[in-house]
Amino acid sequence: MSNNGNLKLAIQKSGRLSENSLQLLKNCNLDIEKFNDRLVVSIRNFKLDLLFLRDDDIPEYVQDGVAELGIVGQDVLYETKADVKVVKKLGFGRCSLRIAIPENDDLRDIEDLNGKRIATSFPNILRDFLKQNKIDAKIVNISGSVEAAPSLGIADYICDLVSTGNTLKLNKLKSSISVLESEAVLIKNKNLKNHSDKYQIFLKLLSRIESVLNANN
Ligand code: ATP
Ligand code: ZN
């Protein structure tokens, strides 16, 4: 697969970004092969291969050049701190990384976070946020079911992706300060050579993506 000269684009295999990512590519008139669980799928009418991956792996794969391009949420991108170029915001996958607190608690301002324990699966983003705001709080790093942390007594507050707020409600939490407003972005490997064949394919793909995004606005 790596020697067919095709540009490689990594997208989420199955999750909240998958459908929109595929739809964007279809709107670019790309004819995608049937894929049934394959990792790599070729585009029939364009020199492009799609790599289907877990979203958490995409920034690093693009950084390392396994794929030249990727589509991933800004939340995951910033959390992994991968060294890639953000080419374009894509206008889908919008969500909000927020501090949530117990329903009966009250955060008047950000200073009230001082001395608190905050559970999250985004420790890097939260650390940067606290530092920028000169807050001294303890980050409790957990990988799943972050909403349960306050009732388990392992944290006072949480920092998690919030959409409807239903999960928060179930856990007697309410949404508070916004840490990051995220959407899906197209990212690119930094070493893709300006005059290479692959760069030309990239430019062609980018211009199609831009046309689709402009038509949507
Ligand atoms: P994977 O198995 O690939 O690791 P995941 O379970 O970690 O998937 P998803 O829940 O599918 O990830 O979320 C993928 C991305 O979708 C998030 O990183 C975020 O950018 C975005 N996202 C999260 N929640 C929402 C939402 N409610 N609406 C739209 N986009 C969201
Ligand atoms: Zn993930």
Q: Which domains does the chain have, with CATH numbers?
A: 7-93+183-216 (3.40.190.10), 95-181 (3.40.190.10)
d(CA 96, CA 180): 6
Output the pLDDT for position 44. 94
Residue 55 CA, closest ligand 1 atom number: 3
Give nearest CA residue, ligand 1 atom 5: 15
Q: What is the pLDDT of residues 6-17, one digit of tens each?
A: 999 999 999 999
Q: What is the pLDDT of residues 93-128, one digit of tens each?
A: 999 999 999 999 999 999 999 999 999 999 999 999
d(CA 180, CA 198): 33
> Ligand 1 pocket: which of 21, 23, 161 to mutate (most atoms <8 Å of CB)?
161
- Within 8 A by CB and 6+ apart from 181, the residues are 94, 96, 97
Mean pLDDT of 82-101: 97
Q: How many A from CA of 200 to the centre of ligand 2?
A: 31
d(CA 45, CA 30): 6
